[in-house]
Amino acid sequence: MKFFNSTQKNMDIETVAKMIRNFIAQNPNQRYRLAVGTDSQVRGNYTCFATGIHIHRIGQGAWCCVAKKVENRRYTNLREKISRETVITYEILSILHDLLFDTLCEFTENYKNFDCKMEAHIDIGTKGETRKLIREMIGYFEGMGVDTKIKPDAFVASSYANRCSKNFKVEHREAV
């Protein structure tokens, strides 16, 4: 997956981790929230998955990026579609955890006010059909020690990634 934002393009996950490290290093004696969320849109025989990564220096700004992946498959089953979004979020969070673990430990040891919570943002809520999936989708993250947010608190999935997933062209899709 290649991530991008308004100023940077074609970032691999290692570059994203480096950008997160740099963002934290600018002011390491603060509290942070690192959130990842995925949303999807079905159009024709294709489904576009957009995954957002958002690092927030609480009360003092944020850095974020997103990646899109178009699959040549029409997801019609809600459980299957939400499960796919959740698995993508899990995979990205797991990779980021591995890439950032040593850095986050170092900041924790060296800065008394440093704190970084990791969050999974899932595009489900207590209203509508997705309410039946809450327990199952949250279960993905329980053993990982990651806080899970659902609507209306899952803004990375339900707002940021949602905006990006709506704008896709089939001819520019990433091969799956």
Give how far the C-alpha of residue 129 lies from the chain's centroid of Cα atoms, to the nearest Å: 22
36 near 93, Cβ under 8 Å?
yes
Which CATH number do you get for residue 54?
3.30.420
- Mean pLDDT (whole number) for 133-142: 93
pLDDT at 173: 47
pLDDT confidence band for 118 (50 / 70 / 90): very high
Q: What is the total count of domains within the chain?
A: 1
Residue 125 has pLDDT above 60, yes or no: yes
Q: Which of 22-26, 121-125, 140-144 has the lowest mean pLDDT?
A: 140-144
Angle between helices 134-142 and 78-110 (to 10 degrees): 30
User: Looking at the DSSP assignment, which residues form a beta bridge with residue 48?
Assistant: 41, 70
Domain holding 145, by residue range, is: 3-172
pLDDT confidence band for 67 (50 / 70 / 90): very high
List pLDDT tens digits, range 81-107: 999 999 999 999 999 999 999 999 999
Pick the more confident residue, 143 or 38. Answer: 38
d(CA 166, CA 31): 32
| pTM (two decimals) | 0.92
E-assigned strand segments in 23-161: 31-43, 46-57, 62-71, 115-122, 147-149
- Mean pLDDT (whole number) for 44-67: 96
d(CA 33, CA 59): 11
pLDDT confidence band for 175 (50 / 70 / 90): very low
- Mean pLDDT (whole number) for 153-157: 96
